[in-house]
Amino acid sequence: MTVFDAIIQGIIQGATEFLPVSSSGHLSISQHMFGLELPGILFDVMLHLGTLMAVLFVYRSLVWRLIKEFFSLCGDVIHRRFRWSEMSPDRRLLMMLFIGLLPLFLLFLPIPGTGMSIKDLSEQLASDSGIVAEGIALLGTSVLLFIAIAANRQMQQNRRARHSRRKGPAGRKTIHTFDALVIGLAQCCAAVFPGLSRSGSTLAAGLVRKINRQTALDYSFVLGIPAIAAAALLSIKDIGSTSESIGLLPLLVGMLTAAVVGFLAIRLLRWLVTTDRLIIFAYYTLVAGLAVTIIGIIEHAMGQNIFTGLPL
C-alpha cells in the first residue's frame, strides 16, 4: 500500500465513520473499485483508532465527566448509596450508554445450522468479492434517514400545534431505558451489514423515539466511542505478521488522516443536523445505493470486476 492509498482510505474512513453514509460500506466499495487487498487487518485497526481520536477530542469534556462519574458510581454501588431515581444527568447518561451497548453482545450469538456467529456473517459480507450487499445496505440507510426526517418534522409540527414558544429542537432531551435499547439495537444491526450506517441508524432510532435531534446526535456519537474501541480491540487479536508488510508510514498517515477528517466530519454533521439538512445524506445514500446495487448485479452477471477487470 502506498502513502496515497493510505490517505484515500483515511479520508473515506474519517468522513464516513461519522457522516450517516457508512464507513464500512464505503471502504469496501473503494477497495473493490481500486483493487486494493489489505494484507491483514492492522490498517483497518489504525483507521478506527484515528476516528476514535477524533470523537474523543470533540467530546473530551463530556467523556472526562463520564469517566469521573463512572468511578463515583462504583463507589456508590460498593457503599450501597446508589439510587436509580436520584441519578444526576451525567450518571443517567452513563447508565443509558451501558444499556445501549448491551445489544452488541447479540453479535456473538450463533446462527443455527451455519456454524457461524452473527459477527462472522458480518465479516463474510464485508469480505466477499461483490458489492451488491453494500448497495442494498446503503439503500437501507437511505430509508432510515427518510424515516428520521419524517419523525423530526412530525415533532416540529406537534410543537407548533401546541403553540409552544420553547426554543431549540423539538423532542425530548431525556433518554429512557427503552430508547437506549432501541438505539443500541440499531447500532448492532449497522455492525452486521456493510453499507448500513452506524451514525445514521442510531440517529434515526433516536428521532423515531421522539428524542430531539441534538440529544440523539450527541448520544449516537458518545455511544460510538466504546463501539469503535471494541471493534479495534476485537480486531487486534487477528493481526498476523503479514500486516507488517503495509509499512509504518502508510499506517501512521492513514490513522492521522482519519483523525483529522473525522474531526471535520463530526463538526459538519452537527451543523447539518441542527440546521435541518439531513436530507442531503438521505438522497446521497439513495443514489449511491442504487448505483452500487446495479453495478454489483452487472458484475455478477459478467463474472468480473468492471473497474479492475479481475474475476470475482
Which tens digit of pLDDT belongs to each residue from 35-88? 877 655 678 778 888 999 999 999 999 999 999 999 999 999 999 999 998 899
Phi/psi of residue 187, each to 5°?
Answer: -65, -40
The grid coordinates listed for 255 are: 490513522
Of 128, 149, 145, which Cα lies nearest the Cα of 289? 145
Which tens digit of pLDDT belongs to each residue from 246-259? 678 888 999 999 99
Q: Where are the domains of the chain?
A: 3-108+115-302
Q: Give the predicted TM-score (pTM) of the model.
A: 0.90
Percent of all residues in the chain with a pLDDT value above 90, rounded to a whole number: 61
Rg of the chain on CA atoms, in Å: 20
Ramachandran region, residue 169 (left: φ > 0; alpha: ψ -120 to 50; beta: rest): beta
Q: Which amino acid is at 41?
A: I
Question: How buried is residue 87: exposed, middle or buried, by Cβ count under 10 Å (0-12/13-18/19+)?
Answer: middle
CA atoms of 188 and 101, how far apart (whole Å) = 9
The pLDDT-based confidence of 237 (bands split at 50, 70, 90) is low
